[in-house]
Amino acid sequence: METPDADVTQSPTVMLAVLEKKLRAVLGPTVPGDVPRARSRQEALRWFLHRDRAGTFSFERVCEVTGLDAEMFRARVLRVAASNGHPRPDGSGDALSAGSTRRTRS
């Protein structure tokens, strides 16, 4: 297996495309009975939750190359996913319970 060209892996444009694909999988419409879409959503949620920087296109590396704050972005994605009723990949509840906190309105 060939390793990605260094120029490609350091390109913010390429990294933003990876991020966009994962965001669409997590936040896209839910279609009852669409197993491939559900699997794609769960895989994308796992990607956002994973904290390893070793992978060329890991969430942490994508954020580093694009200048995004990984913790803040992760918390926001999980909050929106939870508000849309998407469960966490491990089945232990909604995506919000992955470590972010729910804000209450006063």
Residue-range definition of the domain harbouring residue 88:
6-98
Q: Which two tokens stand for residue 79?
A: 């909050």
Domains: count for the chain: 1
Any domain includes 104: no
pLDDT in tens, 33-54: 999 998 999 999 999 999 988 8
Any domain includes 103: no
Cα atoms found within 13 Å of the Cα of residue 15, Cβ hemisphere only: 20
Q: Which two tokens stand for residue 5?
A: 């060209």
**In angstroms, what CA-CA distances link 77 with 36, 47, 57, 106?**
21, 11, 18, 23
For residue 106, the model assigns a pLDDT of 37
pLDDT in tens, 45-88: 999 999 988 899 999 999 999 999 999 999 999 999 888 887 66
Bridge partners (DSSP) listed for residue 87:
94
